Structure 1
């Protein structure tokens, strides 16, 4: 009866209205087909209802009802309500109406160069910290504060790393308790081409790390080839440390690492480092998917990856951008806590069979989004994953995952469907081509950065008028 009385308006049914004999018709106008914007109606007796399309609410009691609307982004267009909030008086036994009229405003994004650092490959910041930490592939971490680069590096391990092939110092992550314990983690390749994650601690000077505090967390043998190292270490919302490793290199996964659950290559790993020490570098989270299984490494969280250079966590899930071989680039999306997924490499490249013309897909997780390189790599050659936007400067972008391509030089985004491994919106933000893109970054405010291969670091900014 309640649904019938609401005219099938969709959205959250909210609190049921007290029984009455009044009605309120709410009309949403100006939104294109397929675009919805939640509108809240609140009234007497704690009544509240969210709708996403024109709706007539019936059986209402008399009183004042507040209709609240907000801007919504679709593609690169913002749809803004002419009136964000209005109050409608509804009389007993009468019908009232309200109209929410949207107007289309182009939302455009641009880039502002904030630094030029030779060899920059990653940008990050601790929670609540105004500084920006810039990772150089050659082995240094620099700090930029208030737009100025500090003279001394935060850390310099250039004498301990190999930059052969795709190697080097590739990323860093701050412990969730960094403000208290001063711990941070780095991901690099050593002189034997192994993948190494070390923990360091800040010195008495907050801008300088203690160079003698290194504790090796894990070393993964990677001696056969000089490519496909993966490259990111990051903490998940669960407080565990994640790292994504490449398949060991070579074309087509000659080591067959992606599907080998006894190998830590071609995997997403999940470690508990809260009590890391020289005698026990990490613990295995008991909820890891292969705990207690024979012929499987307990560190593995996900498998079937080729070269997952960058990944990102968000409340909407885990995003893994996995570089393809010759044809397809892919972005994988899983819900938080969904371990044990097999993303298919080298059985598949994206949704294409790789090893043979036909292949079994049972037990494999296909990409949420993929794209073909196209002739002469017109669409790109190697996906570069970014982050989901949660900043304050452009609130309309909330929930959108941004990514680029090494050869593409563009800025694109997708919006997860909220149901499974789906995508419901894609957008190309038409920024000026900045050449080869190597990474994204994020500061403590949730604002995003793009790192170009020539060392320029750009902040993503709004270049159109705010939507409200």
Structure 2
């Protein structure tokens, strides 16, 4: 069945039972412009019944079990969400902190220095914010050109940080004229004037507007294959609010929400929202604005983190991401195929999704999955793994492990979940086991615990050092204000006398 026809059938299924009849949905979910009516608006849930427990079985411990050894904590660390390395600096992990700093941390000792601080560029942050300093990537030729790229949430003409449109996402290019030399265990200043990398901002490489404060994606990284080594990947969420549709009240009280024309940003080809984008930073652009050729893959809700399987360490250079779900399901996508459509908002995980009406209940919308539909409609790519909200609330993408300290883990995709409940501070660290395929009534297939149970912190992100070893980044409070951030290394066994989670 061709995709357009299949999606028309789905639109009809979503519309059954009353409400808006779905006129205009024959444009299909590959629309490049225009709009249609919402097929599930008002009382459109009708005869469709929500699946409240899509995967009854719970996540089990995997055959590989590790521990988390704290490398750095507090002392400026607020809400670390991404860790990466600079070519030529094997012992340093550069950590993105949501409230502005880029920290240089010695992975052997935990000593750190302020590399730079983007705080003056950012919109004012609020509790529960998904904006801020979200990503950093060193150019593969950094040792020769000193170039760094950052992803920040900034104000703009016509933007209102507490209204709509809310802000703009900006990729900036910087020249670092020094590398940190005086890393310390003691107090570290966050004053930009003390930044040891001595950054010089060169240009805005890329920018696009965000209608709401949430679903910003924010991962940036270079490919690791020869054909994409100087291409920068950028992840972008569907723009925020909920269910990727107009008409709701937003989580900040803004509304009715704008910026989500039918059939939703995830499925549209005329917007950077709900996509994995890829751009050539070494080739001058006539404009930093989006063009359709920037789309690498689409159909995402909020691919908060993504990465390339390190080809220099034995990987195949494939792209992996974890896409944050709406109310019931979290998913892992990989290898992500160029041009691939990953389903949102037609599907949530492998289930057909109904955006329903415009009600919000706390942090949840009234959208719901209503039918298990693996492989259909044709043309949509299902996740390689998924789990439901009995296990967590928001998946956090990580990396394919290519280190040497845990041989059994090599080649496994490592990821996690923010917290068991939104306020419990009880995140998880998982890995993907493609050979674990129990009946979903008995256990969650393919997703298994890498660390025994939950780890008593909020998980905000992951980091990878030059050697391919991985780090879990989190906080004790879940907010981008207090200095409760942690950087924890994934190890077989924690060294004696260290802070350890197992």
Q: TM-score range by the shorter chain?
A: 0.5 to 0.7
Q: Which runs of 5+ in 2 are unaligned?
A: 1-60, 157-166, 182-195, 246-259, 310-314, 356-369, 421-426, 436-443, 477-484, 496-502
CA distances 1:8-57 after superposition (whole Å, capped 9, x unpaired): xxxxxxxxxxxxxxxxxxxxxxxxxxxxxxxxxxxxxxxxxxxxxxxxxx
CA distance in 2, matches of 1:311, 1:221: 21
1:127 aligns with 2:80: no
Tell me the secondary structure at the aligned position of residue 115 of structure 1. Answer: strand
What's the CA shift for 1:395? 1.6
In structure 1, what is the equivalent of residue 109 of structure 2?
Answer: 147
Tell me the secondary structure at the aligned position of residue 428 of structure 2. Answer: coil
CA distance in 1, matches of 2:117, 2:302: 26
Contact kept? 1:108, 1:464, Cα under 8 Å: no
CA distance in 2, matches of 1:138, 1:120: 9
What value does the CA root-mean-square deviation take over the aligned residues? 2.6
CA distance in 2, matches of 1:426, 1:305: 20
Distance 1:143 1:380, change over 3 A: same
Q: Which has the higher contact order (CA 8 A, sep 6+)?
A: 2
1:326 aligns with 2:313: no
Distance 1:132 1:364, change over 3 A: same
What's the CA shift for 1:372? 1.3
In structure 1, what is the equivalent of residue 486 of structure 2?
Answer: 456
CA distance in 1, matches of 2:338, 2:94: 30
CA distance in 2, matches of 1:299, 1:232: 15
* Structural mapping, 1:295-306, within 5 Å: 297-306=292-301
What's the CA shift for 1:147? 2.1
Distance 1:462 1:362, change over 3 A: same
In structure 1, what is the equivalent of residue 480 of structure 2?
Answer: none
The count of corresponding residues between Structure 1 and Structure 2 is: 337
* Structural mapping, 1:115-194, within 5 Å: 115-116=72-73, 117-129=77-89, 130-145=91-106, 146-151=108-113, 153-162=114-123, 163-164=125-126, 165-192=129-156, 193-194=167-168
Q: Which runs of 5+ in 1 are unaligned?
A: 1-74, 78-106, 285-295, 418-422
CA distance in 2, matches of 1:464, 1:201: 37
- State the TM-score, normalized to the length of structure 1: 0.67
2:68 counterpart (108, 111, 114): 111
* Structural mapping, 1:215-254, within 5 Å: 215-222=203-210, 224-237=211-224, 238-239=228-229, 240-254=231-245
Distance 1:150 1:109, change over 3 A: closer
In structure 1, what is the equivalent of residue 397 of structure 2?
Answer: 385
CA distance in 1, matches of 2:202, 2:216: 21
Contact kept? 1:414, 1:424, Cα under 8 Å: no
Contact kept? 2:79, 2:474, Cα under 8 Å: no
1:447 aligns with 2:469: yes
What's the CA shift for 1:425? 5.4
In structure 2, what is the equivalent of residue 293 of structure 1?
Answer: none
Tell me the secondary structure at the aligned position of residue 201 of structure 2. Answer: strand
What's the CA shift for 1:76? 4.6
Contact kept? 2:387, 2:447, Cα under 8 Å: no
What's the CA shift for 1:257? 0.6
1:345 aligns with 2:344: yes
Which structure has the greater CA radius of gyration? Answer: 1
- State the TM-score, normalized to the length of structure 2: 0.63
What's the CA shift for 1:119? 2.2
In structure 1, what is the equivalent of residue 456 of structure 2?
Answer: 434
What's the CA shift for 1:428? 1.7
In structure 2, what is the equivalent of residue 263 of structure 1?
Answer: 271
CA distance in 2, matches of 1:76, 1:245: 31
